[in-house]
Chains A and B, each alone.
Chain A
Amino acid sequence: MKTGMPRTGVTGNILTSDTSGAAATESAPFGHALVRVAEADARVVGLTADLGKYTDIHVFAERFPERFFQMGMAEQSLIGAACGLARTGLIPFATTYCVFATRRAYDFIAIGAALGRANVKIIAGLPGLTTGYGGTHQGIEDLALMRSVPGLTVIDPCDATEVAQATAAIARHDGPVYMRLLRGIVPKVLDPATFSFEVGRARLLRDGADVAFVSTGIMTPRALDAARQLEAENVRAAVLHVGTLKPFDRDAVATLLARVPHVVTAENHVVTGGLASAVADMAVDERLDIRLARIGIPDCFCDSGSLPHLAERYGLTPRHLADAARNLLRT
């Protein structure tokens, strides 16, 4: 904080989640979902690299201590051991943070898990600006790295409902998966009675003919907020949630964009190599004549600070999404 700056907030505990505005929340949806999956399937095992409590897998470890392996502060060993466990027929869920999984163990994910087609589930916490701890802890480019690895499935869930459903779905899915994790007290936005996660499928959460939000991760609830703001101005906005970045649901996105060519992508990630890139690539391939605005983290490492402050500072709030839509429609 520069001298004379107004104090807008402070960096929270690393475990602090942003639940501001959430009507409902759930505690540790991943950990509890993993226990349910493991109760039904004895092949499921868990590992972490000294981040059990911080990735909610402590819930599993307490329920199944003999099926849980603490690997210590050693991410290469974490991913390598997970691959070895998978090769004996087990289904390992290995947790750490996005930054450590991708930056420290990239070769082990690429070769051990992806090239080796090991049935490993990498669960990575603190995606993007879900932590105020600055550049060392904010996983801002992990989706770009993971999307470029052949054969890897990449998932960025948007709320507690999807975290829980995706946990069960990826246990059933045969092959290596990288999933971003929302941990602790997690907002619950989607109704489990009507939403169903499926690997590789995008979901149209709201339809509208004027502008299309194509979003992933925690930006989807913000896109829904922005759509409600626009509704008051008689602008009808669609929201397509792309929970699986890879394989990318080209059909769902292309179908929507052919109908609604004004498009705002929204991701909790740098705007290069993630969702915006996937949409732009697809639009070029399909020769879709679209107008695209990209909401995401700019090409920079981010500051530390409170989560609302960071969302404002880097342009990730519902207001920024609505403004991007308004600008598209104006020009």
Chain B
Amino acid sequence: MSQLSAELLPLTRDPVAIRGRALSLRRHVLRMAEIVGQGYVGQGLGIADVLAVVYFAELRTRPADPGWSDRDRFLLSIGHYGIGLYAALAEAGIIPLAELDTYGADGSRLEMSAPETTPGVEITGGSLGHGLTQAVGMALGLRLQGRDARVFNLLSDGECQEGSTWESALAASHYGLDRLTAIVDCNNQQADGPPARVMGIEPVADKWAAFGWHTQRVDGHDIPALLAAFAAARTTPGRPHAIVVDTLMGRGVRAFEEREKNHFIRVDADDWALARDQLEASS
């Protein structure tokens, strides 16, 4: 059996460095989406700043050994954000950068909805409302075994409509799982439109707080604010942590930001160059 490298992914809390990582993630997202011609590019761009903070400022992982038993776990509940996760996994060196070109292709490991068979993908999300239930079990299991690893679950505003999310919110609070952080992405867009029209969830931060969670709400593109929120989560004991992040779908590409319907984006072949130009201009 070959010995996997125990080298940890280097972390930084320098906002400039994190901003550079976020730009890289967005470039990876555009590269994947352009090859397919369509996809959840709005989500991938919108969550890039948050993922840059999670992967490069917080998460304790070994890129060469993604199954390391003491690793921090990042659970993607919203499987269709896979495009964003793959960008982070490639940037972190967990999957090869070149593999991003296979995104969504027949036979690829990088399926449009992220499957757990891909290295670095902890669970199969996509059936919404699952991630937090498993995150609670992981946090209980790690604590029972005396491991101090942390568990992060990225879920969406729409997922706050799933009953299972609140079953798990009760359990995490009941068991005082302070190594568990739920990141609630409020991009104000679900399949059938904005949550306020589909099924209102606001005031969503108050709901998490009422369930007993240490709750913060920050601009999901304000890197110093995100770094501070994650630092507060890391150092506040006794309760699970909810970080509600307000994000803009398609962030970094003006043409995508301004689309009214951007849950699943189709882009003409000629327009990708424009998207890349807009991203570089925004940075």
Contacts and interface: CB of A to CB of B under 8 A. Distances in A.
A87 B144 CA distance: 13
B124 A111 contact: yes
A66 B141 CA distance: 11
Contact of A88 (B132, B141, B170): B141
B38 interface: no
Contacts of B123: 83, 87, 112, 116
A116 B124 contact: yes
A74 interface: yes
Interface in B68-114: 69
Contacts of A74: 164, 167, 170-171
Contact of B171 (A45, A71, A115): A71
Interface centre among B69, B122, B142 (most CB of A within 10 A): B142
Given A71-B171, A74-B167, A108-B164, A81 B124 contact: no
A87 B71 CA distance: 12
B283 to A, nearest CB: 37
A189 interface: no
Interface of A is mostly: helix
B137 A115 contact: no
Contacts of B39: none
Given A76-B163, A84-B135, 12 more contacts: A45-B141, A69-B140, A76-B133, A84-B140, A85-B138, A87-B141, A92-B137, A108-B130, A111-B127, A111-B130, A115-B124, A116-B116
A65 B5 CA distance: 38
B139 interface: yes
25 contacts: A72-B171, A72-B174, A77-B167, A80-B133, A80-B134, A80-B164, A81-B168, A82-B137, A83-B123, A83-B133, A83-B137, A84-B133, A84-B139, A84-B141, A87-B134, A87-B141, A88-B141, A88-B145, A90-B144, A108-B130, A111-B124, A111-B130, A112-B133, A112-B134, A116-B123
Contacts, number: 99
B141 A89 contact: yes
Contact of B164 (A77, A83, A88, A116): A77
A54 B135 CA distance: 27
Interface in B136-185: 136-142, 144-145, 147, 163-164, 167-168, 170-171, 174-175
A84 to B, nearest CB: 2
Q: Identify the 6 closest CB pairs spanning chains A and B, nearest first.
A: A84-B137, A80-B133, A88-B141, A81-B137, A77-B167, A74-B167
A153 B32 CA distance: 38
Contact of B136 (A81, A90, A115): A81
Interface string A112-153: 100110000000000000000000000000000000000000
Contacts of B137: 80-88, 92
Q: How large is the interface on A (under 10, 10 to 19, 20 to 34, 35 or more residues)?
A: 20 to 34
Contacts of A90: 141, 144-145
A81 B142 CA distance: 12
A47 B206 CA distance: 29
A80 B168 contact: yes
B130 A88 contact: no
B129 interface: yes
Interface string A48-77: 000000000000000000110101101011
B141 A79 contact: no
A135 to B, nearest CB: 22
A63 to B, nearest CB: 16
A107 interface: yes
Contact of A67 (B136, B139, B144, B147): B144
B130 A77 contact: no
Contacts of B134: 80-81, 83-84, 87, 112
Contacts of A107: 127, 130
B148 to A, nearest CB: 13
B144 A81 contact: no
A87 B138 CA distance: 7
